[in-house]
Each structure stands twice: as structure tokens, then as C-alpha cells.
Amino acid sequence: MTTKEFTEEDTDKTVAMMIHTNEMEIAVSAGTSYWDCFKGTDLRRTEIASMAWMIQTLCGSGLMGASTQFYEQAGLSTTYAFDLNMAQYCIGAIGTVASWYAMTKFGRRTLYIGGLCAIFVVLLIVGFLAIPGPENHGAAWATGSMLLIFTFIYDFTVGPVCYCLVAEVSSIRLRQKTIVLARNFYNVVGIINNVLTPHMLNKTGWNWRGFSGFFWAGVNALCIVWCYFRLV
């Protein structure tokens, strides 16, 4: 099997197509403003794109990085806790690849809402596991393991599906502006999440420990309700 060699003519055609595509995109978006994203049917598109992205944070994803802390509470050395945290990234990668095939089989909406429901259950379990107290090593082990499961579910559903929704729901002429707005809403919520989560988990903060799962489960439930009625 031989590889086709590109001639100078092929290169010129490719460059010409790139220039043509760029000019078409400029023509399509000409005369539009960010205010147009909040008018008519585009308002609904902006809402869906923004919420789909914000839910990535609102579903409780901030707890995923806390598995190392719970493993240390279970008595593991820092080294072994770190190794399990590395395994968490591998689990996430597997979930993301698997989602490519799942989206073609189940569809965006089903996979997204199904993932949120599964995450809701995991968060409730994390909350109940905090009841025995921090001195219970078994509960800490179980909490860390549940957060590994959380990672797989998130990277199998909500994480990657969100990017498909954001890219596909916006109108062509406002796609760039809609995505910019949605990402900025996500960043604002992400800042709030990054402030709250350490306070929830740290002993020098609110020291909620695994009880944080109840808080994020409640927020996650609101996200599920929104998705059921609005993500259509």
C-alpha cells in the first residue's frame, strides 16, 4: 500500500479551500453581536450550551481530586495514595474513549442525564460513608474507591458529552460567540467551586469531609431536573 504524494497543485487547492472557508465564516458571522445570543431561539441555544458546560462543575466533579486525601485518611502512605490517583487518570481516559462509542448508541441526552443520575447515587454513597467518622479506615477506603468510580462515570458521560452539546446546539452564525459565553459561565462557576471544595474538605475549613457528597448530590439533583425539562 503506497501513500499518495501531495503535488504542488494539491497544496494550492488545500490552501485555497482554507481561505474560502475562512471567508465564508467571516461572512456568516458578519453583523452579529453577543446580544444576538440572547434573542429569540438563540437564547435557548445559549442556555443549553451554558448549562451543559456549568454542569460539568455543578455535578460535584471537584470531589474527584479528593480521592488521594481519603486514601491517606484510610492509612495509605502518600506514595500509594498518589499511585491510586494516577490510576484515576487512566480510568478517566478509558471512560472517555468508551464514551465515543456510547454516544452513537445511546445519544447525547440519554448518556448525559444517565450519567448525572449515576453520579447522584455515588455522591449519596460518599455522604453516607462519612457517618462512621474519619477514624474508620474502611469507610475512608470505600470513599476513595467511590470517587474512582465517580471519575469513570463522569469521563464516560457528562465530561465528553458536554463538548458535543456545546458544539452542536449553537447556530452556525453565532457558534463562536455562544461557545465563548458558555465557557465564561463555566469559568465563573469553576472559580466558585474551587473556593468551596477545599473549605468543605479541609480540617482547618468547614471539615465536612465526605458529607460534602450530600451537598453536591443536592446540586446535582437540580441539574438533573433542568436536563430533563430543558435538554431536549
Per domain, the residue ranges of the chain are 48-230
The larger pLDDT score, comparing residue 211 to residue 8, is at: 211
Which of 49, 58, 62, 61 lies closest to 183 in space, CA to CA? Answer: 49
Sorting pLDDT into bands at 50, 70 and 90, what band is 53?
A: very high
Determine the straight-line distance between the first and last CA of the chain, rounded to whole angstroms: 46
Could you give the CA distance from residue 12 to residue 58 in angstroms, rounded to a whole number? 47
pTM: 0.84
From the CB of residue 123, how many other CB atoms can be counted at a distance below 10 Å? 27
pLDDT at position 63: 86
| Residue 133 pLDDT > 70 | yes
Q: Which three cell numbers stand for residue 56?
A: 460539568
- pLDDT score of 116: 97
Integer-rounded Cα Rg, in Å, for the chain is 22
Which residues touch 56 (CB under 8 Å, ≥6 apart)? 158, 159, 162, 186
Question: Is the CB of residue 116 less than 8 Å from the CB of residue 227?
Answer: yes
Fold of 48-230: Growth Hormone; Chain: A; (1.20.1250)
In the predicted model, what is the mean pLDDT of residues 147-154?
A: 92
Supply the DSSP symbol for 174: G
